[in-house]
Chains A and B, each alone.
Chain A
Amino acid sequence: MDTFLSIFTIFAQPELLLLVGIGTFAGIYIGAIPGLSVTMAVSILISFTFSWDVLPAISLMVGIYMGGVYGGSRTAILLNIPGAPSAIATAMDGYPMAKKGEAGQAIGVTTVMSFFGGLVGILVLAVAAPYVSDFALTFQPRDYMLLAVLGILLVGSLSSGSLVKGIFAGALGIAIGAVGRDPLTFTERFTFDFQIMEGGISFIAVMIGMFGVSEALLQLQNVGMKAVRQKIDKIVPSFGTVKKYLPLSLQTSSIGVIIGALPGTGGDIAALMAYDHAKRVTKDPEVPFGEGAMEGLVAPETANNAAVGGAFIPMMTLGIPGDAVTAIMIGALFIHGLNPGPMLMIDQPDMFWFIVGALLTANVFMLIFGLTGIKIFTKIVEMPRSIIIPLILLLSIVGAYAVNNSLTDVYWMLGFGVFGYFMRHYGYPLGPVILGVILSRLLDDNWRRAIISEREDLGRFFEGILTSPLSLILFTAVILIFVSQTPLWTSMKKSLFRKAKS
């Protein structure tokens, strides 16, 4: 009970409340400005907050995360430019509404539905996480290893049409994570006799480069894009409107939580899947999808905010990030001496409840800020990219340098930025790389522990998998995900479909 009361810590310390508020406010604008992503903002922020106490640092990051996921919808509606990847689906019906002069109504509904989705996600997190955490205590090293492989495969398969590119990206991430001296034997790995590589590559430098620099370089091709001015008036939706879309938002919130909880996915995929779901279940929309259907706004917006709570479930209970932002937050917790995973819930349950409280508060702030200040907002998002891009690059450099006061990290960041730029152009997802870097240690350590406990015998290792129900489920999931993405499976599915049809 005492630990549960930590949910209210935020109200006992006004500065934490202020930080959540500032974070949410900033997150809405960061998420809304095309070219500034939440992942990038949090990855830059981590380098500035690592000298802070853990609670203020987490408060700020949680606020930015929650606000940022919502903020992307603003520019998607007003400018047809999704400010964040999670708002791509929102633009499809939001912008046609804005073209009809209904931007205010669209923003109002998305704000209320984002709040509702966020609430569902947080409630599921609060209820489910302690159970998942208890269950996670029964995990063997081989289960953790399989879980790491599963996470990387999932993000590879869900985030892209090409599984093989996702697998490549995940494996690359693991290899990057292995650079430096092996913590168990002190053997040098991928250092090529360079002393500066012995300490490994800072994952923050990799993240800022891949998400920040590569994004800024991509945006250089859209510098001339002009913002369309909008007339914004009454935006608070009526009770009747909210009630009408509540059943759909409940369904899409569930999609959001589940997709968000899958390691490595996140709000963008949740929103696209929810949009697809809304299209299938809405038999008779008032306006066709793609031309300003309200259902096309409600579905992705509830799902992407519900995914926030979902993404925290694997992060807090298993130490496996739900998406790129939670991957960075795991890094932040590590920096502050905390070890996310089942033991965190046992050793420091107050931290879990504090995060739940911070998320709830951020969700309320999001509703307040979302429904107010729209006029200032439209001015800020009209800021030209010719100013935004140099600022992103400068902040990336400052952020990478500040982690270790090292120029080497800046060079790594620039290198990964350019590499990430090409990866984006040619359809290689970046998520698995980051997930690979984060999970590299988990995979390596647990593989070695598992195989040593089986006396280096692969037969015994697989026997262990087959005789443990949990390992068997995880192993089957790994195989299924892999097989389901192969051409063999697609042709099998097609022939089955043809047979059923005939």
Chain B
Amino acid sequence: MDPEFRGDTDHHDGTSDATPGGYVEKRRPGELGFALFLTAASLFLLYSAYGISGFEALSAPGAIPMATTFVMVVAAVIVTVRTSRLPMVTSETLSKDILPGMVILFAAFLILFGLLLKPLGFVPTAALFLTVAIKVLARKGWGYTLAVALGSLIAIWIVFRVVFTVLLPSGIVPEAEFIQFFRTVLSGGAN
């Protein structure tokens, strides 16, 4: 079997882990920069690994970290050298194919989600995220966006919060009181 066989010609984006992305004989935009970043990070990690216990003993706590980070450095250097020798892919650009505005926007949304999760609580943050994300991606009216976003959120909340009893940050929403109210209603006020 051809080792470079990828199943089809379009899956150069790493859709499958068995057929990782990239081109075999060409360099994608930003690929060399990523390889250089990995080399620098590996060198830093090797230095940190040396700091754990140095060359104290073969069974020292730093032995495996040093060995693995050394392997990382060697591999990263080989990848960098190989990548630097490859010609660039002419049909792709960094802003269009690797890091389009939509990916940057969603990465920002995710960071904001993480920052707001605790102070605001899961329900309002998730509602905000789903509404904005669906509005941006689907480009449909507010009625559709709100119906889909809030409908999905209610389904997720019932499954995870009520059925699986996963504790999510409540923030500004009095979730516990809300659940208790419904329990009381459903039990006919028996409590």
Q: Which A residues are within 8 Å of any B CB, using their own CB?
A: 47-49, 51, 82, 85, 88-89, 91-92, 158-162, 164-165, 167-168, 171-172, 174-175, 178, 182, 184-185, 187-190, 192, 213, 216-218, 220-221, 223, 266, 268-269, 272-273, 276, 324, 384-387, 389-391, 393-395, 397-398, 401-402, 405, 407, 410-411, 414, 417-418, 421-431, 440, 443-444, 447-448, 451-452, 456, 458
Contact = CB atoms under 8 A, between A and B. Distances in A.
A76 to B, nearest CB: 10
A423 B11 CA distance: 14
Interface in B96-122: 97-98, 100, 102-103, 106-107, 110-111, 113-114, 117-118, 122
B176 interface: no
Interface in B8-27: 8, 11, 13-24
A405 to B, nearest CB: 6
A393 B108 CA distance: 13
B65 A189 contact: yes
B49 A427 contact: no
Contacts of B71: 167-168, 171
A427 B5 contact: no
A187 B152 CA distance: 46
A424 B102 contact: no
Nearest to B16: A85
B34 interface: yes
Across chains A and B, which 5 residue pairs bring their CB atoms closest together, nearest first?
A424-B14, A427-B22, A85-B16, A268-B18, A386-B137
Contacts of B34: 422, 426
B129 to A, nearest CB: 7
Contact of A266 (B1, B18, B148): B18
Contacts of B102: 220-221, 223
B57 interface: yes
Nearest to B160: A398
A386 B138 contact: yes
B68 interface: yes
A25 to B, nearest CB: 15
Contact of A164 (B13, B31, B75): B75
13 contacts: A82-B7, A171-B69, A175-B68, A187-B62, A268-B18, A384-B138, A397-B110, A398-B156, A414-B114, A426-B30, A426-B31, A427-B23, A429-B18
Contacts of A178: 64-65, 68
A411 B19 CA distance: 28
Contact of B110 (A165, A414, A426): A414
Interface in B78-98: 78-79, 82, 97-98
A216 B102 CA distance: 12
Given A268-B16, A398-B156, A401-B117, A187 B45 contact: no
Most A C-beta atoms less than 10 A away, residue of B19, B34, B71: B19
A394 B106 CA distance: 12
The binding surface of chain B is classed by DSSP as helix
Given A159-B17, A272-B5, A456-B58, 20 more contacts: A161-B24, A165-B75, A167-B75, A171-B69, A182-B61, A189-B49, A190-B45, A217-B106, A223-B137, A385-B137, A386-B139, A394-B152, A394-B156, A397-B117, A401-B117, A411-B114, A423-B20, A426-B31, A427-B21, A458-B58
A398 B19 CA distance: 29
Given A171-B68, A390-B133, A414-B114, A425 B13 contact: yes
A47 B148 CA distance: 25
A132 B34 CA distance: 42
Contact of B137 (A159, A389, A440): A389
Nearest to A157: B3
B150 interface: no
Nearest to B122: A398
A456 B59 contact: yes
A328 B56 CA distance: 35
Contacts, number: 236
A428 B20 contact: yes
A451 B59 contact: yes
Contacts of B17: 85, 159, 268, 324, 429-431
A185 B58 CA distance: 14
B137 A407 contact: no
Given A425-B98, A426-B21, A218 B114 contact: no
A168 B75 contact: yes
B28 A425 contact: yes
Contacts of B148: 387
Given A161-B24, A218-B13, A402-B160, A88 B75 contact: no
Contacts of B110: 213, 393, 397, 414, 417
Contacts of B23: 427
A386 B48 contact: no
Contact of A168 (B15, B76, B167): B76
Contact of B15 (A162, A218, A456): A218
A159 B106 contact: no
B28 to A, nearest CB: 6
A355 B85 CA distance: 50
Contacts of B43: none
Contacts of A172: 72
A324 B7 CA distance: 20
Contacts of A421: 103
Contacts of A82: 7, 15-16
Contacts of A216: 106
A261 to B, nearest CB: 16
A410 B11 CA distance: 29
A53 to B, nearest CB: 14
B137 A174 contact: no
A82 B15 CA distance: 10
B164 interface: yes
Contacts of B106: 216-217, 220, 393
A443 B64 CA distance: 8
Contacts of A167: 71, 75
A171 B16 CA distance: 20
A174 B156 CA distance: 34
Nearest to B126: A394
A425 B32 CA distance: 12
Contacts of A390: 129-130, 133-134, 137, 149
Contacts of B138: 384, 386-387
Given A171-B68, A272-B7, A393-B106, A48 B166 contact: yes
